[in-house]
Structure 1
Amino acid sequence: MNQLINDHLYETRNNLIEEIKLLSDTQLNVKPDANSWSIAQVCHHLVLVEESSVKAIAWGLKQEGNKQKMERKNVQLIIDRTKKITAPKIVEPAEDFFAVQQIIELLDDSRKKLTAFLDTIEDPSILVEKSVKHPAIGELPLDQWVEQIYFHEQRHIGQIKEIKALIKVEH
Protein backbone atom coordinates (compact mmCIF):
# COMPACT_ATOMS: atom_id res chain seq x y z
CA MET A 1 0.00 0.00 0.00
CA ASN A 2 1.04 3.57 -0.60
CA GLN A 3 3.47 4.69 2.15
CA LEU A 4 1.68 8.04 2.57
CA ILE A 5 -1.62 6.26 3.21
CA ASN A 6 0.12 3.91 5.66
CA ASP A 7 1.60 6.93 7.45
CA HIS A 8 -1.82 8.62 7.68
CA LEU A 9 -3.44 5.44 9.01
CA TYR A 10 -0.67 5.07 11.61
CA GLU A 11 -0.61 8.74 12.68
CA THR A 12 -4.40 9.04 12.94
CA ARG A 13 -4.69 5.84 14.97
CA ASN A 14 -1.93 7.01 17.33
CA ASN A 15 -3.81 10.30 17.82
CA LEU A 16 -6.98 8.35 18.62
CA ILE A 17 -5.21 6.12 21.17
CA GLU A 18 -3.65 9.22 22.79
CA GLU A 19 -7.16 10.67 23.26
CA ILE A 20 -8.54 7.60 25.03
CA LYS A 21 -5.70 5.73 26.78
CA LEU A 22 -5.78 7.79 30.01
CA LEU A 23 -9.56 7.73 30.41
CA SER A 24 -11.15 5.66 33.13
CA ASP A 25 -13.55 2.93 32.01
CA THR A 26 -16.39 5.08 33.38
CA GLN A 27 -15.29 8.16 31.40
CA LEU A 28 -15.02 6.01 28.28
CA ASN A 29 -18.62 4.83 28.65
CA VAL A 30 -20.47 7.93 29.84
CA LYS A 31 -22.82 9.54 27.30
CA PRO A 32 -22.99 13.35 27.26
CA ASP A 33 -26.76 13.00 26.75
CA ALA A 34 -29.35 10.35 25.94
CA ASN A 35 -29.09 10.91 22.17
CA SER A 36 -25.30 10.82 21.94
CA TRP A 37 -22.71 8.10 21.77
CA SER A 38 -20.15 7.53 24.49
CA ILE A 39 -16.45 7.62 23.59
CA ALA A 40 -16.50 3.81 23.80
CA GLN A 41 -19.31 3.71 21.24
CA VAL A 42 -17.47 6.13 18.94
CA CYS A 43 -14.44 3.82 19.08
CA HIS A 44 -16.55 0.70 18.57
CA HIS A 45 -18.11 2.42 15.53
CA LEU A 46 -14.59 3.05 14.15
CA VAL A 47 -13.76 -0.65 14.56
CA LEU A 48 -16.97 -1.63 12.74
CA VAL A 49 -16.31 0.86 9.93
CA GLU A 50 -12.76 -0.44 9.47
CA GLU A 51 -14.01 -4.05 9.33
CA SER A 52 -16.81 -3.12 6.92
CA SER A 53 -14.37 -1.22 4.71
CA VAL A 54 -12.20 -4.34 4.39
CA LYS A 55 -15.31 -6.31 3.35
CA ALA A 56 -16.32 -3.62 0.83
CA ILE A 57 -12.84 -3.46 -0.71
CA ALA A 58 -12.63 -7.28 -0.89
CA TRP A 59 -16.06 -7.42 -2.54
CA GLY A 60 -15.06 -4.70 -5.01
CA LEU A 61 -11.88 -6.56 -5.95
CA LYS A 62 -13.90 -9.71 -6.74
CA GLN A 63 -16.27 -7.91 -9.12
CA GLU A 64 -15.65 -8.77 -12.75
CA GLY A 65 -15.67 -5.96 -15.27
CA ASN A 66 -16.10 -2.72 -13.33
CA LYS A 67 -12.56 -1.66 -14.36
CA GLN A 68 -12.47 1.96 -15.38
CA LYS A 69 -10.82 5.12 -14.19
CA MET A 70 -13.23 6.25 -11.48
CA GLU A 71 -14.07 9.83 -10.67
CA ARG A 72 -12.04 10.86 -7.62
CA LYS A 73 -14.06 12.14 -4.66
CA ASN A 74 -12.96 14.63 -2.05
CA VAL A 75 -13.07 12.10 0.79
CA GLN A 76 -11.51 14.70 3.09
CA LEU A 77 -14.99 16.28 3.32
CA ILE A 78 -15.90 13.44 5.69
CA ILE A 79 -13.92 15.28 8.40
CA ASP A 80 -16.47 18.15 8.37
CA ARG A 81 -18.63 17.49 11.43
CA THR A 82 -21.06 20.31 10.57
CA LYS A 83 -22.52 17.84 8.07
CA LYS A 84 -24.40 15.18 10.02
CA ILE A 85 -24.01 11.65 8.68
CA THR A 86 -26.22 8.91 10.09
CA ALA A 87 -24.30 5.68 10.58
CA PRO A 88 -25.73 2.74 8.63
CA LYS A 89 -27.13 0.03 10.94
CA ILE A 90 -24.21 -2.30 10.15
CA VAL A 91 -21.72 0.12 11.77
CA GLU A 92 -23.85 1.26 14.71
CA PRO A 93 -21.97 0.60 17.96
CA ALA A 94 -23.10 -1.74 20.70
CA GLU A 95 -24.60 -0.39 23.93
CA ASP A 96 -22.13 -2.58 25.88
CA PHE A 97 -19.86 -1.30 28.62
CA PHE A 98 -16.30 -1.37 27.26
CA ALA A 99 -13.05 -1.21 29.20
CA VAL A 100 -10.37 1.13 27.84
CA GLN A 101 -7.96 -1.77 27.29
CA GLN A 102 -10.69 -3.75 25.52
CA ILE A 103 -11.37 -0.86 23.10
CA ILE A 104 -7.66 -0.41 22.40
CA GLU A 105 -7.40 -4.15 21.64
CA LEU A 106 -10.43 -4.00 19.31
CA LEU A 107 -8.87 -1.01 17.51
CA ASP A 108 -5.51 -2.82 17.24
CA ASP A 109 -7.19 -5.96 15.95
CA SER A 110 -9.22 -4.18 13.26
CA ARG A 111 -6.12 -2.27 12.11
CA LYS A 112 -4.05 -5.47 11.93
CA LYS A 113 -6.81 -7.08 9.84
CA LEU A 114 -6.87 -4.05 7.52
CA THR A 115 -3.11 -3.95 6.98
CA ALA A 116 -2.88 -7.74 6.59
CA PHE A 117 -5.66 -7.60 4.00
CA LEU A 118 -4.04 -4.71 2.11
CA ASP A 119 -0.74 -6.60 2.11
CA THR A 120 -2.44 -9.46 0.21
CA ILE A 121 -3.23 -7.19 -2.76
CA GLU A 122 -0.52 -8.01 -5.29
CA ASP A 123 -1.12 -5.01 -7.57
CA PRO A 124 -2.45 -2.02 -5.57
CA SER A 125 -3.06 -0.09 -8.82
CA ILE A 126 -6.23 -2.20 -9.23
CA LEU A 127 -7.67 -0.23 -6.28
CA VAL A 128 -7.82 2.88 -8.49
CA GLU A 129 -9.67 1.03 -11.26
CA LYS A 130 -12.43 -0.60 -9.24
CA SER A 131 -15.09 0.94 -7.05
CA VAL A 132 -17.88 0.19 -4.59
CA LYS A 133 -20.72 2.41 -3.44
CA HIS A 134 -19.97 4.06 -0.08
CA PRO A 135 -23.05 4.77 2.10
CA ALA A 136 -22.14 8.43 2.73
CA ILE A 137 -20.03 9.37 -0.31
CA GLY A 138 -21.47 7.34 -3.21
CA GLU A 139 -19.47 5.37 -5.79
CA LEU A 140 -15.90 5.39 -4.51
CA PRO A 141 -12.65 4.00 -5.95
CA LEU A 142 -11.28 1.26 -3.69
CA ASP A 143 -8.09 3.17 -2.86
CA GLN A 144 -10.27 6.00 -1.56
CA TRP A 145 -12.09 3.48 0.65
CA VAL A 146 -8.74 3.10 2.40
CA GLU A 147 -8.28 6.89 2.62
CA GLN A 148 -11.75 7.43 4.06
CA ILE A 149 -10.82 5.20 7.02
CA TYR A 150 -8.35 7.73 8.42
CA PHE A 151 -10.40 10.79 7.42
CA HIS A 152 -13.43 9.20 9.13
CA GLU A 153 -11.26 8.49 12.19
CA GLN A 154 -10.13 12.14 12.24
CA ARG A 155 -13.79 13.20 12.16
CA HIS A 156 -14.48 11.09 15.24
CA ILE A 157 -11.34 12.21 17.08
CA GLY A 158 -12.93 15.68 16.92
CA GLN A 159 -16.12 14.20 18.33
CA ILE A 160 -14.20 12.45 21.14
CA LYS A 161 -12.56 15.77 22.09
CA GLU A 162 -16.02 17.37 22.24
CA ILE A 163 -17.38 14.54 24.40
CA LYS A 164 -14.39 14.84 26.75
CA ALA A 165 -15.13 18.55 27.15
CA LEU A 166 -18.84 17.85 27.76
CA ILE A 167 -18.14 15.22 30.42
CA LYS A 168 -15.41 17.43 31.90
CA VAL A 169 -12.37 15.22 31.32
CA GLU A 170 -9.18 17.13 32.09
CA HIS A 171 -6.83 17.23 29.10
Structure 2
Amino acid sequence: MNKLVDDNLHETRNNLVKEIIKLSNAQFNGRPDMNEWSIAQVCHHLVLVEEASLKAIAWGLKETGSTPKERKNVDTILLNRTKKLKAPKIVEPDVEPFEVQQIIDLLNESRKKLMTFLNTIEDKSVLAEKSVMHPALGELPLDQWIEQIYLHEQRHIEQINELKLLLEVSP
Protein backbone atom coordinates (compact mmCIF):
# COMPACT_ATOMS: atom_id res chain seq x y z
CA MET A 1 0.00 0.00 0.00
CA ASN A 2 1.34 3.42 -0.72
CA LYS A 3 2.72 5.54 2.09
CA LEU A 4 0.23 8.39 1.58
CA VAL A 5 -2.76 6.09 2.06
CA ASP A 6 -1.10 4.45 5.06
CA ASP A 7 -0.33 7.87 6.58
CA ASN A 8 -3.89 9.08 5.93
CA LEU A 9 -5.37 6.00 7.59
CA HIS A 10 -3.13 6.54 10.60
CA GLU A 11 -3.55 10.32 10.87
CA THR A 12 -7.33 10.25 10.43
CA ARG A 13 -7.74 7.55 13.06
CA ASN A 14 -5.55 9.51 15.50
CA ASN A 15 -7.71 12.60 14.89
CA LEU A 16 -10.85 10.58 15.54
CA VAL A 17 -9.53 9.21 18.83
CA LYS A 18 -8.47 12.74 19.92
CA GLU A 19 -12.04 13.91 19.35
CA ILE A 20 -13.60 11.24 21.57
CA ILE A 21 -11.03 10.30 24.21
CA LYS A 22 -11.94 13.03 26.70
CA LEU A 23 -15.71 12.67 26.41
CA SER A 24 -17.70 11.37 29.33
CA ASN A 25 -19.85 8.35 28.58
CA ALA A 26 -22.93 10.60 28.90
CA GLN A 27 -21.54 13.01 26.27
CA PHE A 28 -20.45 10.08 24.10
CA ASN A 29 -23.93 8.55 24.12
CA GLY A 30 -25.94 11.79 24.11
CA ARG A 31 -28.18 12.47 21.12
CA PRO A 32 -29.30 15.95 20.09
CA ASP A 33 -32.57 14.36 18.99
CA MET A 34 -33.88 10.86 18.46
CA ASN A 35 -33.40 11.07 14.67
CA GLU A 36 -29.65 11.57 14.99
CA TRP A 37 -26.93 9.19 16.04
CA SER A 38 -24.88 9.75 19.15
CA ILE A 39 -21.11 10.20 18.85
CA ALA A 40 -20.81 6.61 20.11
CA GLN A 41 -23.08 5.39 17.33
CA VAL A 42 -21.12 7.35 14.72
CA CYS A 43 -17.95 5.65 15.95
CA HIS A 44 -19.58 2.20 16.01
CA HIS A 45 -20.71 2.84 12.42
CA LEU A 46 -17.07 3.58 11.50
CA VAL A 47 -15.99 0.24 13.00
CA LEU A 48 -18.69 -1.57 11.03
CA VAL A 49 -17.75 0.22 7.79
CA GLU A 50 -14.08 -0.69 8.22
CA GLU A 51 -14.99 -4.34 8.85
CA ALA A 52 -17.36 -4.42 5.86
CA SER A 53 -14.71 -2.76 3.66
CA LEU A 54 -12.19 -5.42 4.64
CA LYS A 55 -14.69 -8.13 3.64
CA ALA A 56 -15.42 -6.39 0.34
CA ILE A 57 -11.72 -6.04 -0.49
CA ALA A 58 -11.05 -9.70 0.41
CA TRP A 59 -14.02 -10.80 -1.70
CA GLY A 60 -12.91 -8.59 -4.60
CA LEU A 61 -9.42 -10.07 -4.57
CA LYS A 62 -10.86 -13.59 -4.94
CA GLU A 63 -13.05 -12.61 -7.89
CA THR A 64 -11.81 -13.64 -11.31
CA GLY A 65 -12.69 -11.75 -14.42
CA SER A 66 -13.06 -8.41 -12.64
CA THR A 67 -11.88 -5.62 -14.92
CA PRO A 68 -10.53 -2.25 -13.84
CA LYS A 69 -13.31 0.28 -13.33
CA GLU A 70 -13.24 4.01 -13.73
CA ARG A 71 -11.71 5.79 -10.76
CA LYS A 72 -14.07 8.07 -8.88
CA ASN A 73 -13.54 11.31 -7.00
CA VAL A 74 -14.20 9.53 -3.73
CA ASP A 75 -12.95 12.49 -1.69
CA THR A 76 -15.33 14.92 -3.40
CA ILE A 77 -18.29 12.62 -2.83
CA LEU A 78 -17.54 11.61 0.77
CA LEU A 79 -16.32 14.95 2.08
CA ASN A 80 -19.37 16.81 0.75
CA ARG A 81 -21.62 16.67 3.80
CA THR A 82 -24.37 18.66 2.11
CA LYS A 83 -25.34 15.38 0.46
CA LYS A 84 -26.73 13.03 3.10
CA LEU A 85 -25.86 9.38 2.59
CA LYS A 86 -28.04 6.65 4.06
CA ALA A 87 -26.08 3.93 5.83
CA PRO A 88 -26.92 0.43 4.60
CA LYS A 89 -28.47 -1.77 7.32
CA ILE A 90 -25.28 -3.82 7.62
CA VAL A 91 -23.34 -0.79 8.90
CA GLU A 92 -26.03 0.76 11.09
CA PRO A 93 -24.77 1.10 14.67
CA ASP A 94 -26.22 -0.53 17.75
CA VAL A 95 -28.67 1.55 19.77
CA GLU A 96 -27.23 0.35 23.07
CA PRO A 97 -24.85 2.78 24.82
CA PHE A 98 -21.10 2.36 24.50
CA GLU A 99 -18.19 3.35 26.70
CA VAL A 100 -15.50 5.50 25.09
CA GLN A 101 -12.73 2.96 25.78
CA GLN A 102 -14.89 0.15 24.42
CA ILE A 103 -15.22 1.98 21.07
CA ILE A 104 -11.51 2.85 21.01
CA ASP A 105 -10.75 -0.85 21.50
CA LEU A 106 -13.13 -1.77 18.66
CA LEU A 107 -11.55 0.88 16.41
CA ASN A 108 -8.05 -0.44 17.22
CA GLU A 109 -9.12 -4.03 16.60
CA SER A 110 -10.76 -3.29 13.24
CA ARG A 111 -7.74 -1.26 12.09
CA LYS A 112 -5.33 -4.00 13.16
CA LYS A 113 -7.33 -6.57 11.16
CA LEU A 114 -7.38 -4.28 8.12
CA MET A 115 -3.65 -3.56 8.21
CA THR A 116 -2.76 -7.20 8.86
CA PHE A 117 -4.88 -8.23 5.87
CA LEU A 118 -3.48 -5.54 3.59
CA ASN A 119 0.06 -6.56 4.52
CA THR A 120 -0.67 -10.09 3.23
CA ILE A 121 -1.26 -8.78 -0.30
CA GLU A 122 2.02 -9.35 -2.12
CA ASP A 123 1.20 -7.52 -5.35
CA LYS A 124 -0.57 -4.32 -4.35
CA SER A 125 -1.13 -3.35 -8.01
CA VAL A 126 -3.98 -5.87 -8.10
CA LEU A 127 -5.95 -3.49 -5.86
CA ALA A 128 -6.25 -1.01 -8.74
CA GLU A 129 -7.17 -3.76 -11.21
CA LYS A 130 -10.16 -5.29 -9.43
CA SER A 131 -13.34 -3.66 -8.26
CA VAL A 132 -16.41 -4.33 -6.12
CA MET A 133 -19.78 -2.58 -5.89
CA HIS A 134 -19.89 -0.01 -3.06
CA PRO A 135 -23.38 0.78 -1.70
CA ALA A 136 -22.92 4.57 -1.89
CA LEU A 137 -20.21 5.00 -4.50
CA GLY A 138 -21.03 2.33 -7.10
CA GLU A 139 -18.43 0.08 -8.69
CA LEU A 140 -15.17 0.99 -6.98
CA PRO A 141 -11.58 -0.21 -7.51
CA LEU A 142 -10.29 -2.01 -4.41
CA ASP A 143 -7.58 0.56 -3.72
CA GLN A 144 -10.31 3.20 -3.55
CA TRP A 145 -12.17 1.01 -1.06
CA ILE A 146 -9.12 1.53 1.19
CA GLU A 147 -9.13 5.30 0.56
CA GLN A 148 -12.82 5.57 1.33
CA ILE A 149 -12.19 4.23 4.85
CA TYR A 150 -10.21 7.29 5.96
CA LEU A 151 -12.26 9.73 3.86
CA HIS A 152 -15.43 8.34 5.42
CA GLU A 153 -13.85 8.80 8.86
CA GLN A 154 -12.97 12.40 8.00
CA ARG A 155 -16.60 12.98 7.01
CA HIS A 156 -17.77 11.65 10.36
CA ILE A 157 -15.16 13.55 12.38
CA GLU A 158 -16.86 16.69 11.07
CA GLN A 159 -20.20 15.24 12.17
CA ILE A 160 -18.77 14.45 15.62
CA ASN A 161 -17.58 18.05 15.96
CA GLU A 162 -21.07 19.27 15.04
CA LEU A 163 -22.62 16.90 17.57
CA LYS A 164 -20.26 18.18 20.26
CA LEU A 165 -21.48 21.72 19.56
CA LEU A 166 -25.11 20.63 19.70
CA LEU A 167 -24.47 18.77 22.95
CA GLU A 168 -22.45 21.74 24.24
CA VAL A 169 -19.32 19.70 24.88
CA SER A 170 -16.41 22.03 25.64
CA PRO A 171 -13.32 21.44 23.46
Q: Give the structure-2-normalised TM-score.
A: 0.98
**Equivalences, count:** 170
Kindly provide the amino acid, as one letter, of the partner of residue 126 in structure 2: I
1:131 deviates by 0.1
Q: Which residue of 1 aligns with 2:70?
A: 71
Distance 1:95 1:70 in 2: 37
Distance 2:49 2:98 in 1: 17
Q: Which residue of 1 aligns with 2:31?
A: 31
SS of 2:9's partner is helix
Deviations 1:41-75 (A, max 9, x none): 00000000000000000000000111x33211000
SS of 1:33's partner is coil
Q: Which residue of 2 aligns with 1:56?
A: 56
Kindly provide the amino acid, as one letter, of the partner of residue 101 in structure 1: Q
Superposed CA RMSD in Å reads 0.6
Q: Which residue of 1 aligns with 2:112?
A: 112
Kindly provide the amino acid, as one letter, of the partner of residue 28 in structure 2: L
Q: Which residue of 2 aligns with 1:89?
A: 89
Q: Is 2:9 aligned against 1:9? A: yes
Pairing of 1:104-143 with structure 2 (within 5 A)? 104-143=104-143
SS of 1:169's partner is coil
SS of 2:34's partner is coil
Q: Which residue of 1 aligns with 2:159?
A: 159
1:81 deviates by 0.8
Assess if the C-alpha contact under 8 Å between 2:25 and 2:99 holds in 1.
yes
Gaps of 5+ in 1: none
Q: Percent identity?
A: 66
Deviations 1:110-154 (A, max 9, x none): 000110010011101000000000000000000000000000000
Kindly provide the amino acid, as one letter, of the partner of residue 9 in structure 1: L
SS of 2:84's partner is coil
SS of 1:121's partner is coil
Kindly provide the amino acid, as one letter, of the partner of residue 12 in structure 2: T
Distance 2:41 2:64 in 1: 36
Q: Give the structure-1-normalised TM-score.
A: 0.98
Gaps of 5+ in 2: none
